[in-house]
Amino acid sequence: MSADDLGADVPLPRPPRRIVSLVPSITEALATDLPERLVGATDWCTHPADLDVSRVRGTKNPDLAAIRALEPDLVVANKEENRALDVRRLREAGVPVWVTDIETVPQALTSLARLYDEALAHDEPDWLREATALWSGPVPRVRGRVAVPVWRDPWLVVGPRTYTGDLLRRLGWANAFADGADRYPTVDLAAIDRDSIDLVLLPDEPYVFTAEDGPEAFTRVPTRLVPGRLLTWYGPAMVAARHLPLAP
C-alpha cells in the first residue's frame, strides 16, 4: 500500500489498469504516457485535443455515480482542484483515490514522479525528465512585478501559495499579490492597473481573456495574452512553460 501526497493510504495491490483523472493537467500526462489505462476524465480535460474517454462532469462537481460505473481501480485528484467531500465519498464506495498536493514547481516535479513510480508503476516519462532538468537551476533575479487576473467583473488574481506564483518567480517575476491569506483574492481593477506593477498577464483560462476582452481595461500597465495552460498546468506543459515569453 502506498500513501498519496496527503499521507492517505491508497490500496493498490497491482498497477492500476482503469484510471479516472479529475485533474486536467494530469489527464494530459496520463493520455500522453498511458492512454490505454485512462478511461475517464472531467469536462475541463481539454488536452490532448483528441482525448476520447468517458466524461464525468467537472472538477468541482464530478458525477460520482458515473465514476463508479467506470469501475476504476484508481482515481487521481488534487487537493486544490477537487473537493475533499468527493474524495471521501469515492473512498467510502471502495474506489482508491490518489490525491496530489502541488503549490510549487518542485512539488509538481516530486509529486508527479511519485505518482508514476508508486501509484502507476510506470517509468519516469521523458517530459518529466526534461522538465526536471529545465527547472533545476537557481531562481533568477527579479526582473519586475507581475499580476495575473483569472477572472473579471469581479476581478480575481493569482495570490500567495500557488503553483502559478512559484512558476513566475522561477521565471524572474514577482507576484504583486503574493501577500495575504486568500490564494485567489478579489481586487479592484485599480489595484491591478497601477504604476508599481510592471506587467499584467491575461490567460485564456479559467476566464477567456482575448485581444478584445481584457487589455482595454488597463491604461497604466502593459498587458500580455498568454496560454493559461502554461501558467497553471503541471505535467507535459511544464516543458513549454519554461520558455514562456513574458516581455510586455
- The model's confidence at residue 245, banded by pLDDT at 50, 70 and 90, is confident
Specify the pLDDT at position 236.
Answer: 97
CA-CA distance, 210 to 94, in Å (whole number)? 44
* HSE toward the beta carbon, residue 48, CA cutoff 13 A: 12
157-216 per-position pLDDT tens digit: 999 999 999 999 999 999 999 998 999 999 999 999 999 999 999 999 999 999 999 999
Q: Burial, 114: exposed, middle or buried (Cβ in 10 Å; 0-12, 13-18, 19+)? A: middle
Question: How far apart are alpha carbons 220 and 199 in whole angstroms?
Answer: 10
pLDDT single digits (tens) 91-149: 999 999 999 999 999 999 999 999 999 999 999 999 999 999 999 999 999 999 999 99
Query: For residue 198, how many other CB atoms are within 10 A of its CB?
Result: 17
**What are the cell numbers at 33?**
504516457
Question: Beta strand pairing status for 155-157 and 149-151?
Answer: antiparallel
Residue 247 has pLDDT above 80, yes or no: no
pLDDT at 193 (0 to 100): 97
pLDDT surpassing 70 at residue 35: yes
Q: Does domain 144-232 have CATH number 3.40.50.1980?
A: yes
Location of each CATH 3.40.50.1980 domain in the chain? 2-104, 144-232
Q: What is the mean pLDDT of residues 7-34?
A: 97
Average pLDDT (232-246) is: 93
The 3-class SS string of the chain reads CEECCCCCEECCCCCCCCEEECCHHHHHHHHHHCCCCEEEECCCCCCCCCCCCEECECCCCECHHHHHHCCCCEEEEECCCCCHHHHHHHHHCCCCEEEECCCCHHHHHHHHHHHHHHHCCCCCCHHHHHHHHHCCCCCCCCCEEEECEEECCCEEECCCCCHHHHHHHHCCEEECCCCCCCCCCEECHHHHCCCCCCEEEEECCCCCCECCECHHHCCCCCEEEECHHHHHCCCCHHHHHCCCCCCC
Distance between CA atoms of residues 148 and 218, nearest Å: 13
| Predicted confidence band of residue 248 (pLDDT cuts 50, 70, 90) | low
Superfamily name with CATH number, domain 2-104: Nitrogenase molybdenum iron protein domain (3.40.50.1980)
